[in-house]
Structure 1
Amino acid sequence: MGLNLDSRILALALARMVDALANSFLVVVLPLYIGSQIVSLPTFVGTTVQLGAVDFTLTAELLIGIVLSLFGFLNSFSQPFTGSLSDKTGRRTVFLLFGLGLVAIGSAGYLVFTDYLSILVMRALQGIGAAFTIPVTVALVNELSDEDERGGNFGLFNTFRLLGFGVGPIVAGVVISTGPYRIAGIDITGFDAAFLVAVVGALASFVLIALLIDDPERTENEAADDISIAVRDPDGSGLDPVFALGLATIVMALSIAMFAPLANVINTRLDQGTFLFSVQFGATVLANVVFQYPIGRLSDRYGRRPFLVGGFLLLLPTTLAQGFVRSSELMIIARFLQGVAVAAVFAPSLALAGDLAKEGQSGSTLSLLTMGFGLGVAFGTLFSGILVGFGFSVPFVAATVLGTIGLFLVYTQVGETVETSTPTPVGSD
């Protein structure tokens, strides 16, 4: 199978990389910005309220958590709607450009507004903007891909996206720490410089899409009226395979997202500094970057299902191990192998959903997986902070149990979509 990159897929991947870099900037910048003296916080911060028999303090950290989670939940829950709407209208690029415009406006708003409520509104605007870009982008990748190159194209797309997501926080830290700046006689703080980078990133993606991407040709009847989400398989034998993959994707994303909120606890437990934690965190991203594209291409040749099942089989021990290892080196290995597991699942699952998507319904079909990933990240960061109070290993044990359910769903509900010399039926040994 030769290397044959479609320039349109590459343009979409580059645009998504720049957009992901700009968005991941804000994951680092906003907590620091809200915690600084620049932002005016509500007067109730620091007060204590009584919830039954428990006293609960309204902290700045709570407000930071609300801002960060608002983006994730608005983004995730809106994706089926925006994906379906783009199916119905058949206007992919218009939706994509509109979403990038909202993201840019939200980023620019941080330069103007310095009160907490306005920041909350700007982040909500960005969440809605992302809901327009993510399902539409994967729908375009699906519709521009030949059947025998779909897995590789999704692998390429995810590789670039993860590169942007992984590099963004590092660059953000450098931009903030080396500020303030003086450009053309104007003083710019490190925060303002970071927000400007986010604006420029969104606008650069906008230009790439506007210049290089057109909507795929389609007939009127391809913009299907029936864009409802199927839960049951049409033959009544079980769950719809894409819906089952969406549930499994939530579990997969939850498993990798539980690590970040436990930074201080992990550093204390392993007697390490922040550098080693950053290496452990980045190991999963690195593995995804390295393996997404080759695994996606292999799934085009050998089928989606072997990689989905194998990925979940690897996900279970690598997630569980993180709750019990006692050395920094072993944690790095566990995180890297967990990243390999995620790479084995995500690109083939998107390709399989694309294989099954009906004409004109790529947006609504694939949005189930992109929504599932967003929800998994949102719930993972929330649950790990709660469950760690019962013991360090508890979040990882719980994620492993959920991963077992994800493996069961994939093994019993998801069949093969690629014709191979030895096709694998659902539920076969």
Structure 2
Amino acid sequence: MADNKESNEVESFQPQKLPASAYLVGALTQFALGLHSPFLQTYLVDMQNALYGVKNFAELGAFRSVGNVAPTLLQPFWGATSDKIGHRKAFVAFGTALGLFVVFLFLWAATPVDMIVLYAIQSILFSIQIPTWLSLIGGLMDEENRGDELGKLGLATNFAALAATMISGFIAGMPALIPILRNAFGSLGPLIFPSVEAWREAYYIPFYLTAIVGIMASILALGIKEKKQPNNNRKGFPPIHRLLSQPGDFRRFSFVAVFFSFAMSMAWPYFIVVQRDWLNSTILEIAIASAVMTLSIVIFTIPFGRLSDRVGRKPLILLGRGLLFLVPLLYAFALNVYMIYVANILAGFCVASSMNAITAYIYDISPEDERGSHLAVYNTFTGIVYLFGSLLAGIFGQLILIAIGSEYLSVFIMLIVSGCLRFVASFFYLLIREPREYSSTLWFELRRVRPSRRHDTDLV
């Protein structure tokens, strides 16, 4: 009897892990995102070339801005509502289905302004999914192994996104595929595959598949067994002002993120110009650049997730943010597509180090029944900063273009400015505080993996 009791106690302390259904839904959702996300700015650049023959950096900045801020404007509402009602998987399913279906409508955007408006609508709809999904999976795992579980989930979802991106890149190189599919379906072909302009056909199947896979993911999300919250723990909508005005780790972290988020987003409108215009990259080469970044994330996500559980979140955040300044500098001096691949591999390393650590850090410092709200408020706060960073960078780049008449110098200057500001802003993360002590340090872990020097070897 004593042995059985002891065995039951041991079993009761087994760490809670994410179910297989969460991995499947997360992988399908990221597969859908991987089909289209890496090519949206390319699509807008091709649209500008088809309509104007020149670049409009203000439009590129505005496009990137709505992609940053639109998904976050309503996140506090969705996060708080899901915390209060408790049916998070319903929010996940609804946001996934609607947000990804609208991607197919991008094919009929007549002008860049139309595309910006549609992108804003799509981003707002998909914002329903973002905080509710993070809150849903946050309730399905324990704090002790949260970094490890997020790392495993990140591995599965990033691998799915990588596969989808490569599939889209290969499909883009087969423009004759659309007429073949129309003919294969006979009289239904024009209804199933409506006609578009020739330059858009490279994006047709990726956008089409995005909608289909999104619907599949939303249906499967309803099958996740959700952890129920006690009624007496459900709280009302926490306003942004309340969470950001209360002294504590969350407010400190949010304000620290302002400086780096602004500097980081300044470079985003210009990366695609370097690839598509400076280097004349094909869609397949753009897909490879995105894929190597995703592969880098996949390789480092689980090790960094486990490492953050041992050494804390702060060292990993500092590592990832501290090296990101090199990425825009590599783009600014890129002579060929291989330098872009190197920059994206480095970017993937930095993302793997910092992003899961940031999510885990917010989980650690927020109450269990308000995690969705805290994540949503943080995403909204940084999303607004991203809005101004990308928008102002686009406007400044356009003003430089008007003043000096050189598209190359406009892009080069903005990339250098972003790199310098990223470097300075990364030091602000030294101000954040860990909510608890950890069993090891980053320096100790690095010394453990470093091969020890034999004492009987000669020193050179």
Query: By the TM > 0.5 criterion, same fold?
Result: yes
Q: Hey, what does 1:286 align to over in structure 2?
A: 295
Match of 1:298 among 301, 307, 312: 307
* Counterpart for residue 125 of structure 2: 129
1:247 aligns to what? 258
Does structure 1 conserve the Cα–Cα contact (< 8 Å) formed by 2:32 and 2:209?
A: no
Larger displacement relative to structure 2 (120-129 or 76-85) = 120-129
162-171 vs 360-369, greater mean Cα deviation = 162-171
In structure 2, do the counterparts of structure 1 residues 83 and 245 end up closer, same or farther at CA, with 3 Å as the change threshold? farther
Q: Is the 8 A contact 2:256 2:428 kept in 1?
A: yes
Matching residue of 2:89: 93
Q: Which amino acid aligns with 2:178?
A: G
Which of the numbers 423, 428, 432 marks the counterpart of 1:404?
423
Cα 1:105–1:400 shift into 2, 3 Å = closer
> Any conservation in 2 of the 1:15–1:208 contact (CA below 8 Å)?
no
- TM-superposed CA distance for 1:384, in Å, is 5.5
The Cα of 1:22 is off from its aligned counterpart by 4.9
Separation in 1, partners of 2:84, 2:16: 34
TM-score, normalised with respect to structure 2: 0.71
CA 1:81/1:5 → structure 2, altered by over 3 Å: closer, same or farther? Answer: closer
Go from structure 1 to structure 2 and tell me whether the alpha carbon gap of 1:336 and 1:299 turns closer, same or farther (over 3 Å shift): same
Unaligned runs of 5+ residues in structure 1 are 38-44, 47-56, 425-429
- Picking from 315, 332, 337, the partner of 1:323 is 332
Return the index of the structure with the highest Cα Rg.
Answer: 2
Cross-structure match for 1:199:
211
Q: CA RMSD in A?
A: 4.1
Deviation of the 1:262 alpha carbon: 2.8
Question: Secondary structure at 2:368's aligned position in 1?
Answer: coil
Hey, what's the Cα distance between the residues in 1 that align with 2:208 and 2:340?
36
CA gap 1:68/1:171 in 2 versus in 1, 3 angstroms: farther
Provide the residue aligned with 2:178 in structure 1.
179
State the distance in 2 between where 1:248 and 1:231 align: 16
Partner of 2:135: 139
Cα contact 2:17–2:141 (8 A) shared by 1 = no
Q: Which residue of 1 aligns with 2:33?
A: 20
1:202-217 to structure 2, matched below 5 A, reads 202-211=214-223, 213-217=224-228
- CA displacement at 1:18 relative to structure 2: 3.2
CA contact (8 A) 2:139 2:227 kept: yes
Separation in 2, partners of 1:64, 1:119: 11
Within 5 Å, give how 1:242-281 maps onto structure 2. 242-244=253-255, 246-247=257-258, 250-251=261-262, 254=265, 257=268, 258-264=270-276, 266-267=278-279, 279-281=288-290
Higher relative contact order (CA 8 A, sep 6+): 2
* Matched residue type, 1:417: P
| Change in CA separation of 1:415 and 1:88 when aligned onto 2, cut-off 3 Å | same
CA separation in 2, counterparts of 1:165 and 1:377?
Answer: 23
Residue pairs, 1:349-360, within 5 angstroms: 349-360=358-369
Instruction: Choose between structure 1 and 2: higher helix proportion.
Output: 2
TM-score, length-scaled by structure 1: 0.75
Q: CA deviation at 1:96?
A: 1.2
Secondary structure of the residue aligned to 2:225 is coil
For residues 258-296 of structure 1, the C-alpha deviation after alignment (integer angstroms, 9 at most, x for no partner) is 42233245428xxx8776665445433332222122211
